Amino acid sequence: MKKNHYFIEFDDDLERTKITIFLARKWGYLVLFSSALVIWLVMLTGMLIYLIGGRSPRIVLTFLLLLWLVIWFVFGRFLWKRWQYFAAGREILFIDQEQLIVRRPVSILGITNAYDMAHISPFYYSDTHNCPTFDYAYLHVYFGHGLSHEDAARIVNEINPRWFPELDVVL
């Protein structure tokens, strides 16, 4: 059974549900994080060249640069994930009996999070963030930012009866 909508595609079979949400890019954030990622890469390269280069810096300076390199690397991982988040043009949810996977693909890269279905609450609409939401233990997981309330309600009303039939949660 396949249903198409301008922003959402449902692909539902006996074993799983696949929901593709096409997202509008936020170009301001994408440019900001792309610029920050380029600056990060230039600075990282500069630090590595300085440390590996033929100079013999003092031991204290070397230690400080290595410490800064570790901090800079962790910051780069954060930047990389945020860049992937804003570069993705779609968000895909895969739901089956064991797990729910939320994927934001960027070519072969992208952010993928998997959640155990035993710990997932029914889906609901978050008024604060204006998007569909589910709770994973104590963590609120938001997806589909930018969808209209009708599209978000459509997702919630498609998922809850199929994967949470014991509960009566309808928007």
Question: 120 in a domain, yes or no?
Answer: yes
Split at pLDDT 50, 70, 90, the class of 25 is confident
Are 110 and 128 found together in one domain? yes
57: pLDDT strictly greater than 70: no
Question: 46 in a domain, yes or no?
Answer: yes
- Cβ-Cβ contacts under 8 Å for 8 (sequence gap 6 or more): 19, 20, 21, 22, 147, 151, 154, 155
Split at pLDDT 50, 70, 90, the class of 91 is very high
Average confidence (pLDDT) over 23-47 = 90
pTM of the model: 0.77
5: pLDDT strictly greater than 60: no
In 14-158, the DSSP E strands lie at: 17-22, 90-95, 99-106, 109-116, 124-126, 131-136, 139-142
The residues that bridge with 111 in the sheet, in sequence order, are 104
Q: Which has more pLDDT, 170 or 69?
A: 69
Are 96 and 156 found together in one domain? yes
Which residues constitute the domain of residue 60?
A: 29-86
* Number of domains within the chain: 2
What distance in Å separates the CA atoms of residue 72 and residue 104, rounded to the nearest whole number?
Answer: 25
What distance in Å separates the CA atoms of residue 40 and residue 46, rounded to the nearest whole number?
Answer: 10
Question: 169 in a domain, yes or no?
Answer: no
Q: Which has more pLDDT, 52 or 114?
A: 114
The pair of structure tokens assigned to 36 is 């920050």
100: pLDDT strictly greater than 90: yes
Are 79 and 141 found together in one domain? no
pLDDT reported for residue 113: 92
CA distances from 61 to 4, 29, 56, 97 (A): 60, 35, 10, 54
How many CB atoms are closer than 10 A to CB 14?
A: 4
